[in-house]
Structure 1
Amino acid sequence: MKHALLIVCAAGLLAACAGGGNSRYAMQHDSAPDDDFDASRIPDAVPRVEPRSRYGNPDSYVVNGRRYYVKSSSQGYVERGHASWYGKKFHGHRTSSGETYDMYAMTAAHKSLPLPTYAEVTNLENGKKIIVKVNDRGPFHPGRIIDLSYAAAKKLGMTGKGTAPVQVRAIDPRQPARPMQVKQQGTSSRYIAARMGRQVPEKSADTAQPAPASSYTNSEIFIQVGAFSSRDNAEQLRTRLDRQFNNLNVAAAFHDDTRLYRVRIGPLASREQADRLIERIILNGLGQPRLIID
């Protein structure tokens, strides 16, 4: 796991940050803290209006050869995917926002949300919810959408497994008690099954309310590889993927809300299968894959 604090730096720190993780961290591998503690006693982050970080919000940045784009606003953001956590290796080091990482605080890392952003994270396996302050960049492991501090992950009940399916919803600090009235990504859309020349309705998920723990078992897992305003471009990518993965369903999805054609593979049998396919897609330079759970 490598965070953008290694590459998003003030000019004076660029040389030190660009050198990689070997000289920056005393530990080679991450781990949980040595002492056990009751995470339920740690209060959630309290949303408040703050200025944007001077160093944590470039227009874009590159990690491991891939470019990431920072959102201009967190307004309306809600997404489902998988969360991971980071702990002792990074404790006490500077985050991408300039704050010091504290594995006992309720914070998180995200690839594209502006820093800082406050977000509600729901564990879709057990229904637990927390509120965190997003003040760092990451995770850069395929298929993960958020990296939680160890305390946040422990409070969410996911440290034993290491990852968990979650919903992440940005909170408006001006109205922290009021959920943003938004649609979950991937809703109000229709799939165009290009190879069959017919429309396939997408499973409806028009609510931003967290699903109960049991619903994740019945959810469908997809990999989104690209999004295009042009159907021709979407079809070209679909054709390339179809050749590479000819035993899987590859479709160009047109979304009414964004007016984009999104190219997806799936539904897939398991998260493990999705992770393996994401690695293959990246290695073959076929797109920018993301794990999608509907």
Structure 2
Amino acid sequence: MRNVVLIFLFSAIALWGNAQTYTTEEGLATFYSNKFHGRKTSSGEVYRKTKLTAAHPNLPFGTEVKVTNIDNGKSVIVRINDRCSPRRIAIDLSKAAAAKIDMIGAGMKMVRIEVVTDSIKQSYLAQEINTDSTGADSTATLSPNLVSSERNFSVQVASVATLKNANRLTSHLTSTYNVVSDHKKVKTRRGRSLYKVLVGAFSSRDEASTFLSLLKKTYPTAFIIPFK
């Protein structure tokens, strides 16, 4: 019994070490068939084709990776919540993630996979801001009765490194969604300044959730924040 336990521990340490040293790789990407929608993944979560998730052979569940279509340079950040076989593909994307990098028609594409760091996420968000690819969301507006003068909740779209990018994103959000957007300066633990970009004023979490579902089509990492 002791030998079994030791083997298990050494295996776990080896897997953990591989996860820590992993940075980037290139390989084939596919995406889930519609038949998997609603089924459980290896992590126990239910697969939803509208969510930005993916299956990977060995990265820990919950790891965020940036996946770039090598043919067109388009990228998406996904969260690993499932497993796939390493024999054939490097990553299996949700249908929403595959659509975001324009690989639905091809079915399979060579991609670059990078574990997300703070700098990668900031660069990705800056690219999202600068790229005029808002699609249907470019004309989306909120119903006047959804936005409240009582601001109990808002939606944080991003944390950006410069005031210039914060102002640019704030202006873009205001014109795109016809709601008030602003930003606030915060200090990180290392003393650096970041600008949190916020959009909308909602009296209840349900109202904020309604807007968040609209916003996530273009800004998948957005989330609700309460005001005390």
Report the TM range for the smaller structure's normalisation. Answer: 0.3 to 0.5
What's the TM-score, normalizing by structure 2?
A: 0.44
Higher helix share: 2
What's the TM-score, normalizing by structure 1?
A: 0.35
